[in-house]
Amino acid sequence: MEFSKICVLGLGYIGLPTASTFATHGLQVVGVDINTKVLETLRSGELHIHEPGLRTLVNAALGSRNLTISDTPEAADAFIIAVPTPFDNDKHADLNAVKAAGRAIVPHLQPSNLVVLESTSPPRTTRDVLAPILEESGLKAGVDFLLAYSPERVLPGKILHELIENARVVGGIDQASTEAGRKLYQTFVRGEIVLSDATTAEMVKLMENTYRDVNIAVANEFAKLGERFEIDIWEAIEIANRHPRVAILQPGPGVGGHCIGVDPWFLVEAAPDVTHLVKTARQVNDSQPGHVVNLVKNALGAPSSLAKMKIAVLGLSYKANVDDLRESPAIEVAQLLVEAGAQVSAYEPYKLDAEIPGVRATTSIAEAVEDAELLLMLVKHKAFLELNPNELAEQTPARIAVDTVNGWPMHPWHAAGFKIYKLGVGNSNAN
């Protein structure tokens, strides 16, 4: 089958780059979003999301006239669903956007069309949730139209590169759907396209992020053991990772973003009786912000309260060198400090206007640290790694620093007069 026109439903972090990439590779693409603000922003030549290179790509796609944007789908050869699947307060997957996208496709679905779900979804969503909705068209999945699942697996900050170069799994509800999916993504994917079935492809995506979450959880427990046994866990992990079959990830203030902290819950919800480890890992990682607050107390001599303590927080984003604040553990730490009575100033170089209740946002490191008693690094931003402790010592009265990401080497900071407390490192190393 040939694809000349496609509809991409959802113009967010995945849908917009995907729609634009198809368009710059010669397909006619209708990008659909139900959020009129998103459409207005795109039509005015602006972007509602930040991703290196995305503005140039979207401009090229719109400029070629291959990409048009709309609030409703229209007839096409293929439909790609790339809408959010968040979780609700009970940690249950919220599939309303996927269902709504399916229903929006129904009036336009024609025999031999392909529908691909890209949104991260609990196992069997393509078969058990999406197929019945699409069949309200009167057409039968696997008989009259093709249906597949193909997850996005790109890393925020590297989306445009990884979209094209990563291996991609395509799983159809039958052989013909799988083949059609391969043909569609071959338009631009240079990485290997691995063929499977829909439910396996759904599991692959969830397993990747769950594996990473569990690995980070064990690193976070190792960090607590490092503190208990007065060693440097960063050094221990580095040495352990020289073993050819060991690859431990890095401990830190917690796991943020909208993927790794969310996706494992889809497995726990789908099969709670067989996912004890997955659930425990989530709980371990979710407990890290509270652990960081304990480290701060400890560094200050374990006061019973942090009332009026002046703390300068460095970094608020969910990971290094991005401006994305969604589900950021750094924000949770800042909030816990405020709740404990501390006076918190924060500097986030990628988002100077970050608004967190009770936290004083600052536009420079100098402003954040000017009257601080303690410096707390929560994100391994390049700018923080390059700080010169001697220069910093002149800008702040603080002589205590807490490093949760192993960004500051002990020696130069000690030499500049700072006590350094590190997550994962015994206190005896602080001086």
**Considering the rule CB under 6 A, would residue 259 count as an interface residue with ligand SAJ?**
yes
User: From the list 249, 292, 325, 425, which residue makes contact with ligand SAJ (rule: CB under 6 A)?
Assistant: 249
Q: Does 318 bind ligand SAJ (CB under 6 A)?
A: yes
**Residue 208 binding ligand SAJ, by CB under 6 A:** yes
Q: Kindly tell me which of 220 and 343 has the beta carbon lying closer to ligand SAJ.
A: 220
CB-nearer residue toward ligand SAJ: 310 or 422: 422
The CA distance from 145 to 110, in Å, is: 7
Over the window 63 to 102, marking each residue x when it contacts ligand SAJ by CB under 6 A and - when it does not, the resulting string is ----------------------------------------
Q: Which residues in 347-406 contact ligand SAJ (CB under 6 A)?
A: none
Q: CA 69 to CA 336: how far, in whole Å?
A: 42
Only one residue has tokens 């968040």, namely: 86
Stretch that binds ligand SAJ, among 129-137, 152-160, 269-277, 297-305 (CB under 6 A): 152-160
Q: Quick one: tokens of 334? A: 């800042």
Binding residues with ligand SAJ: total (CB under 6 A):
20
Binding residue (CB under 6 A) for ligand SAJ from 73, 122, 181, 257: 257
> Which segment (81-89, 204-212, 270-278, 304-312) binds ligand SAJ by CB under 6 A?
204-212
Q: Which of the following is catalytic: 7, 205, 297, 380? A: 205
Q: Which residues of 326-352 are buried (b: 16+ CB within 10 A; e: fewer)?
A: ebbbbbbbbbbbbebebbbbbbbbbee
The letter for the amino acid at 261 is G
How many distinct helices (H) and strands (E) make up the chain?
18, 14
- Which two three-digit tokens encode residue 408? 């500051």
According to DSSP, the β-strands at 374-377 and 359-362 are unpaired
For position 156 contacting ligand SAJ by CB under 6 A, the verdict is: yes
Instruction: Verify binding: residue 264, ligand SAJ, rule CB under 6 A.
Output: no
Beta bridge partners of 360: 345
User: CB of residue 18 vs ligand SAJ: minimum separation in angstroms?
Assistant: 12
CB 328 to ligand SAJ: min, Å: 7
| Residue 183: active-site member | no
Shortest spacing between CB 153 and ligand SAJ, in angstroms: 4
User: Closest Cα to residue 162, out of 51, 86, 59, 328?
Assistant: 51
Q: Give the residue, chosen from 30, 260, 270, 333, that forms a contact with ligand SAJ under the rule CB under 6 A.
A: 260
The catalytic residue among 7, 259, 310, 319 is: 259
Q: Can residue 154 be called a binding residue for ligand SAJ (CB under 6 A)?
A: yes
Contact 21, 67 (CB under 8 A): no
Residues 97-126 that bind ligand SAJ (CB under 6 A): 120
Q: How is residue 272 written in tokens? A: 């709670």
Q: Judged by CB under 6 A, which of 216, 278, 281, 299 binds ligand SAJ?
A: 216
CB 402 within 8 A of CB 421: yes
Nearest approach, Cβ of residue 143 and ligand SAJ (Å):
32
Task: Candidates 1, 155, 246, 274: give the one binding ligand SAJ (CB under 6 A).
Answer: 155
Crossing angle of the two packed helices 263-270 and 276-286, in degrees rounded to 10: 140
Based on the residue annotation, tell me whether 7 is a catalytic residue of this protein: no
Tell me the backbone φ, ψ of residue 343, rounded to 5 degrees: -95, 110
Bridge partners for 195 per DSSP: 170
**Structure tokens that stand for 23 in this block:** 């368009």
34-42, 87-95, 182-190, 251-259 -> range binding ligand SAJ (CB under 6 A): 251-259
CB 292 within 8 A of CB 330: no
- Whether 342 and 307 have beta carbons less than 8 Å apart is answered as yes
Binding-site ranges for ligand SAJ (CB under 6 A): 120, 152-156, 208-209, 212, 216, 249-250, 252, 255-257, 259-260, 318-319
Active site residues: 205, 259
